[in-house]
Amino acid sequence: MKTIREKYTAAEKLLPWNLKEAVLNEKPKAFRIDDSHFFYSLQERKDGKVITSFRLVNTSDGSETELFDHKLLCELLKTEEIPFSSCDFEDGILKFEYEEKEYTWDIEADELTIDEKEEKRAVSVSPDGSKEVFVKDFNLWMRNIETGKETQLSFDGEKDNAYGKYAEYSGYITERVKGNPEIPDVLWSPDSQYFLTVRLDQRNVKELYILQSYDQEDSDSIRPRLITYKCAFPEDEILPMAYWYICNAEEGTLKETDAPAQCAGGPLLNPRFSMAKWAENSEFVYLTHTERAHKAASLIMIDHEGKSGTIVHEKADTFLNIKTYGELDGFGSYAASNYITEDGKTAFWQSERDGFARLYRYDAVTKECLYPITPEKRIVGEIVSIDEEKEVIYFCASNMEGISDPYYQQLCCVKFDGSDFKVLTDEDAMHKSAVINDMIIDTYSRVDLPPVTVLRKTDGTFIRTLVEADISDLLSRGYIIPERFTVKASDGETDLYGILIRPADFDENKSYPFIDYIYGGMQCYNVPKAFAAQAGIEGREVMGGLEELAQLGFAGIILDGLGTPGRGKKLHEISYENIHGCAGLKDHVYVLPQLKEKYPLLDLERAGMWGNSGGGCATSRAMLEYPDVYKVGVSSAGNHDQRMYNNQWTENYYGLYNKEIYLKGDNTSLAKNLKGHLYIVHGAMDDNVAMSQSIRLIDALIEADKDFDFLILPRTNHNVPANPYFIRKKIDYFVKYLLEEEVPDYRFAKPE
C-alpha cells in the first residue's frame, strides 16, 4: 500500500505541465492548400521525443505523401528532426518559426531566408498584407506597409470614446499588465478593400478597481498601483456602447453606419469570437445584434456605404441563446450560427423558437421567414461549412437518434431548401469536423474512447482512418479512464449525464471520499464529452484535477444538472431568474442516492466540492445551502453576489435589474449556515470577477462567527486553477479535511 507521500508523487505525474505531450495526435488540424490537397501534422514518439512530420493529402482518393522533403530541410537547419510543430504552406512556400526566428523556404528555388521574429504590435493587418490599421490618440490610422504612408481615418476620438477599442473587463487588464498590445477591434473584408470597426463610448460608465501590490519589472517604486477599468453592473443605467463604422481602405474614408449600437462586453470583432462576418465576395458584412438583457436579437446586413437592413428580428420572454458557447464554437470565428448568401438574397438564422435550435431560411430581400430547414428536435450547433454552388450547409447537431448521449455532436448536412438532410458521421461519440474541398476530416472520441481521425467524402462515405491518438504515455502516468453514467434529475423524469473517476487504489470492499467538480454557469455544460487529456484553458488541470485526486484516494464526479444548454430551450430556461440555482445544484444533491446505488464505493458522508468562477459561486452555495451534504469545499474566483458582476452575463439569466430577484443570488446571506471546511481563494488581479466578491463573502462569514480559510494570489487573474501553488494547496486541503490524513511536506516541481 502506498504512503501518502508516494501518492503525491503519483499525482504529480498527472499535473497539467507534465501532460503536454502525453497524448499524440489528439486533435490533428488540417489546412487547405488548393482544390485537391490539404496537409496536416502527424506526431510520433521516437527515443522519448515527440517528432512532428507534415503530410500532404490528395482529396480525390485520400492518398498521402510528405508535404516537403523533411530530410533536406533538416540538413539545411542542421537538426536531426523537424524542430517545429506548425507551419504555413502556400504556392510552394513553407513558413515556420524556430529558435525565435521566422523562416521562409522557397522549395522550388531552394532558398531559405531567416528573419528575427517580429514583436507583436498593436496593429490589424489586412488579409493581403498590404495595409495595417492602428490607434493613435484614440483615433484610427492606416499605414501602407510598402510605402509607409499613414492616413488618419477618424478625427473626433477621445478618452472613453475611442475608435477600434473594446470594453475593458473580462481579461482586458490582464493583457495590459502583461504588456500585450491592444489590437484594434477591426474586421477586414476578404479582399482587403474594406473593414468594419467600432467607436466605443464608455463615458460615464462606472469603474472597478484592482490594487496591484507587487512591483512591475520596469518600476523603481514599491508603491502599490491602483488600476481602474470600466465595468457596468446590472443596476447601472449607462453601459459601454459600440457604434459601427465602415472603412473604405482604398479611399481612406471612414463612415458611421446606421446599424443600432451594441452593448459591449469585450471585443466584438475578436478573431476568435466575432459577432460579425463578411460575405466571401466582400460585398457586405453582417452581424448578430443583441439588445440589453438578451431578450431580443437581430441579423443585420451592412453595405459598403454603411447602410444597414434588418433581416431577422426575434424576441423571447426569457432569454435568447443565440451565441454558441462552450463546445458550440460558432461558424469559424463567427460566434453565431447564422449566414447570408453572397448574392444577399437568402439568410439562415439559428433559433430555439420551437424549443430546439434549428436553422430557419429567410428571404433576405422581403425579410420573410420561409421555413425551417433542419429537422425537429435536432439541436444545431456550429455551422462547419457552406457550399453555395451546391446549396448545401454542413453543420454539427446534437440530440440525435440512436446516440447514447444527447450532447454528442454529429456532422450533418442539408440542402438550402431543407431537403436531403443527412447525418454524415455514425460513430456514437463527440465529433469535431472540418470540410475541405470534397472531403471531411473528422475526429471523434468520448471520455472513454481515445480520439480517432478519419477521412470521408462529403456524402459521408468512409475513405480511411487518417490517424489514431496515442495515449500510451498518458496511461503510463496512471490516468484513469472515466466512466459514463446516467441518473434522473430532481424532476424525477429527465436523464442527466455525468462521469465518475475511480480512485487509483480502488478496492470494491472499501468506500471513498469523493469530490464533485462543478461549474455552475448556465451558458455551457461542464461534463467533458470528448476524450479529456488537456483542459480547455491553458495551464489548468484536466477535469478539474480529478485525475490527480484519484491518485490520492478520492473518487471524482462531474455532472450537468437542469438549467444547462445543449438539451433544448425548456431545460435551459430552468436557469432563468435562477442564477442562484447554479445550473442544477440541487440535482447534484438529489442524485447522490442514485450514484451510491450505482457506485457503492462513494462515501456520502465524505462529500467535497470545488469549482472556479461560476464553480466558485456554486461551491460556496453548496456549502451554505446544503451544509449537511458537502463537508469540504474549495471555492476559487467565485461570483458570490450577482449584483456585483458585469451586466452582460448576469442580465442574460436574471433579466433587467430587479433587486428582489438579484438578492437571491447573494451567497453572503447564507453565511450563517456554514458547518464544514470552506477554502475561499481569489486572484488579486482578477479582471473578470472582482476580488471584492470574495471579500464580501469573507466579511459575512466573520460576522456570522464562522471558521473558514482564505488565500489571496497577488499576481493571479481569473485563471486561479492554473496557478501551481493553488493546485497544491487545493489538493492539500482535501487531503487534510476530506481524506483526513496528514499532509506531507511535499512540493511539486513547478513548470518552467
More confident: 169 or 332: 169
What digits encode the pLDDT tens for the residues 15-73?
A: 999 999 999 999 898 899 998 999 999 999 998 899 999 999 998 889 999 999 999 99
Burial of 674 (0-12, 13-18, 19+ CB in 10 A): buried
Report the pLDDT averaged over residues 396-409. Answer: 95
Amino acid at 571: L
Mean of the per-residue pLDDT values of the chain = 94
Alpha-helix residue ranges (DSSP H) falling in 83-187: 172-178
Q: Could you tell me if 46 and 24 are in contact, meaning their C-beta atoms sit under 8 angstroms apart? A: no
Residue 409 scores a pLDDT above 70: yes
Question: What integer pLDDT is reported at residue 120 of this predicted model?
Answer: 86
Question: Are residues 142 and 131 in contact, defined by beta-carbon separation less than 8 angstroms?
Answer: yes
Q: Any idea what the Cα angle at residue 531 is, between residues 527 and 535, rounded to 5°? A: 65
pLDDT at residue number 325: 40
Q: What is the mean pLDDT of residues 357-367?
A: 97
Mean pLDDT for 195-216 is 94
Residue 47 to residue 641: CA distance in whole angstroms: 53
Average confidence (pLDDT) over 575-583:
97
Instruction: Measure the CA angle with vertex 87, ends 84 and 90; round to 5°.
Output: 150
- Which residue ranges form the domains of the chain, and what is each CATH number? 126-271 (no CATH), 272-423 (2.140.10.30), 486-737 (3.40.50.1820)
Q: Which of 23, 44, 43, 6 is nearest to 479 (CA)?
A: 23
With 70 as the cut, is the pLDDT of residue 330 above it? no
pLDDT of residue 326: 34
Q: What is the model's pLDDT at position 599?
A: 98
pLDDT of residue 252 exceeding 70: yes
3-class SS of residue 587: helix
Q: Are strands 677-683 and 630-636 parallel, antiparallel or unpaired?
A: parallel
Q: Is the pLDDT of residue 286 over 80?
A: yes
Q: How confident is the model at residue 333 (pLDDT cuts 50, 70, 90)?
A: low
d(C-alpha 576, C-alpha 523), whole Å? 11
Residue 329 has pLDDT above 70, yes or no: no
Question: Does residue 328 have a pLDDT over 60?
Answer: no
The per-residue pLDDT for range 227-242, each reduced to its tens digit, is 999 999 999 999 999 9
Task: Give the mean pLDDT of 394-420.
Answer: 96
Picking from 301, 300, 269, 298, the residue whose alpha carbon sits closest to that of residue 284 is: 301
Give the type of residue at 670: L
Length of the chain equals: 752
Across 356-385, average pLDDT: 96
Amino acid at 691: M
415-465 per-position pLDDT tens digit: 999 999 999 999 999 999 999 989 999 999 999 999 999 999 999 999 999
Confidence check: pLDDT of 219 > 80: no
Give the least confident one: 83-87, 319-323, 439-443, 514-518: 319-323
Written as one letter, the residue type at 120 is K
Q: Is the pLDDT of residue 323 over 80?
A: no
Has residue 332 got a pLDDT over 60? no
CA 506, CA 38: separation in Å to the nearest integer?
46
Q: Amino acid letter at 211?
A: L
Residue 387: pLDDT over 80:
yes
Query: Residue 469 contacts by C-beta under 8 Å, 6 or more apart in sequence?
Result: 23, 24, 25, 26, 445, 450, 451, 452, 531
Q: Report, in angstroms and rounded to the nearest whole number, the Rg of the chain calculated over CA atoms.
A: 26
Distance of alpha carbon 208 from alpha carbon 195, whole angstroms = 32
Query: So what's the pLDDT on residue 324?
Result: 56
Q: Provide the pLDDT for residue 216.
A: 73
Q: How many CB atoms lie within 10 A of CB 662?
A: 22
| Mean pLDDT calculated for residue range 213-236 | 88
pLDDT digits (tens, 9 = 90+) for 107-156: 999 899 998 888 889 999 999 999 999 999 999 999 999 999 999 999 99
Cα separation, 349 vs 372, in Å, equals 9
Task: Using pLDDT thresholds of 50, 70 and 90, give the confidence band for residue 689.
Answer: very high
Between CA 746 and CA 307 the distance in angstroms is: 64
